[in-house]
Amino acid sequence: MLVSVPLQRSPYNVHVGPGLLDQAGSLAAGVLTPGKCAVISDSHVAPIYSDRVARSLRSSGFAVTTLVSAAGENSKSMEEAASLCGQMIAGGLDRSSAVFALGGGVVGDLAGFVAAIYHRGLPCVQIPTTIVAQVDSSVGGKTGVNATGGKNLIGAFHQPRLVIADTGTLSTLPAREFNEGFAEVIKHAAIRDFDMLDAPDDLPALIARNVAIKAAIVAEDEFETKGVRALLNFGHTIGHGIENAAGYGRYLHGEAISLGLVAACRLSVEKAGLDPAARDRIFSALARHRLPVSLPPDIATEAILSAMRKDKKFHGGSVRFVLLKRPGEAFVSGDVTEADIARQIEALRG
């Protein structure tokens, strides 16, 4: 399946389906001039898939250097980005080279950021291997690393030249990592296509539908200046705060977003008149994928709020909070206060 991301200045395609890793070289050669490249992966994904990708790239004329970071959110750092850049310098990569991001959301964000800053920008091909990355983070050009004060605070917009989403890679995901990806699927359903909550078990078709939703929103508001792309942050304001306050690694990204979705749905009922039945359908979908819906007592509310105050979604001390009016219709509200958010964080403990 092929989904287009119709950006005005830099359109690209997303290929979705099984077996695409073996076509990585020929697909990449269709948009890039083969030459030196870095395949950036992590210690979980590289042993399984990096040789296969490198073999395909070499068969199409690419000279491959494989770089491996430690798996996990802690690798999304300026230190790791600098280390990868140093390794690329040592490997002789120059302004004519390219970067391939092979892995989940952490690898995609990190490698995309390295591609954005190395020699002031190299072309990047995203090869996502998790549901989170395939349905969300590999598309749209947001790259970055975390800072001590919050998630993704250091980054750049750097659109990929191509996305290769091989759904066969999802078969090797542990159950927890498989399930966490559905938090982003449920988010897309909530803001644009509520029927997706009851989607059939055709995983490639489901992923392609999610990519199409993300692509349409990104095409309308590539740099998040019109308020449309901000809708993709539904559940993320509180979710990112929880992820940071808990310490990166305690919750997978989708698990933290699940908690944020619960709070955002409750606020949508309270502030925007969302039908409680719609809220409950979202809650049921989260539970069906074994995603968390309650917060343990040891993660302090003030710690979550402190992390949120440093979030990109805060402007001049006020928060842009995404709410649902009705199924499939989201908007950015300026009426949600910090006190409202604190109350909903406390409610998560119930």
Whether residue 256 lies inside any domain: the answer is: yes
Q: Which residue has the tokens 């083969």?
A: 34
Whether residue 208 lies inside any domain: the answer is: no
Task: Answer whether 27's CB lies under 8 Å from 162's CB.
Answer: yes
Q: Which two tokens stand for residue 181?
A: 């990806």
Whether 70 and 130 map to the same domain: the answer is yes
Q: Is 223 helix (H, G, I), strand (E, B) or coil?
A: coil
Whether 115 and 251 map to the same domain: the answer is no
Tell me what pLDDT residue 317 has: 60
From the CB of residue 85, how many other CB atoms can be counted at a distance below 10 Å?
16
Whether residue 52 lies inside any domain: the answer is: yes
Task: Answer whether 31's CB lies under 8 Å from 15's CB.
Answer: no
Whether 231 and 119 map to the same domain: the answer is no
Whether 7 and 148 map to the same domain: the answer is yes
Whether 136 and 243 map to the same domain: the answer is no
Whether 149 and 6 map to the same domain: the answer is yes
Using the 3D structure, point to which of 134, 149, 172 is the last residue of a domain: 172
Residue numbers annotated as active site: 120, 142, 184, 214, 224, 229, 233, 236, 240, 253
Whether residue 146 lies inside any domain: the answer is: yes
Whether residue 278 lies inside any domain: the answer is: yes
Q: Which two tokens stand for residue 159?
A: 């659109």
Is 302 exposed, middle or buried (CB count within 10 Å of its CB: 0-12, 13-18, 19+)?
exposed
Segments forming the whole domain that contains residue 131: 2-172
Half-sphere exposure of 104 toward its Cβ, with a 13 Å CA cutoff?
A: 26
- The distance between the two most distant Cα atoms of the chain, rounded to a whole number of Å, is 58
Whether 33 and 121 map to the same domain: the answer is yes
Whether 21 and 151 map to the same domain: the answer is yes
Beta 12-17 vs 162-166: how paired, if at all?
parallel
The stretches in the chain having pLDDT less than 70 are: 312-318
CATH number at residue 53: 3.40.50.1970
Residue 207 identity (one-letter amino acid) = I
Whether residue 196 lies inside any domain: the answer is: no
Task: Answer whether 49's CB lies under 8 Å from 110's CB.
Answer: no
Whether 112 and 247 map to the same domain: the answer is no
From the CB of residue 10, how many other CB atoms can be counted at a distance below 10 Å?
12
Q: Is the pTM of this model over 0.85?
A: yes
Alpha carbon distances (Å) from 295 to 72, 233, 346? 22, 20, 8
pLDDT digits (tens, 9 = 90+) for 84-142: 999 999 999 999 999 999 999 999 999 999 999 999 999 999 999 999 999 999 999 99
Whether 247 and 166 map to the same domain: the answer is no
DSSP state of 41: E
Whether 284 and 158 map to the same domain: the answer is no
Q: Which residues contact 80 (CB under 8 A, 6 or more apart)?
A: 69, 110, 145
Tell me what pLDDT residue 316 has: 59
Task: Answer whether 278's CB lies under 8 Å from 194's CB.
Answer: yes
Q: Which residues contact 196 (CB under 8 A, 6 or more apart)?
A: 185, 188, 189, 206, 209, 210
Q: Which residue has the tokens 């790239």?
A: 57
Q: Which two tokens stand for residue 258?
A: 């699940």
Task: Answer whether 254's CB lies under 8 Å from 218's CB.
Answer: no
CATH number at residue 314: 1.20.1090.10
Whether residue 214 lies inside any domain: the answer is: no
Count of domains forming the chain: 2
Tell me what pLDDT residue 313 has: 63
Whether 15 and 154 map to the same domain: the answer is yes
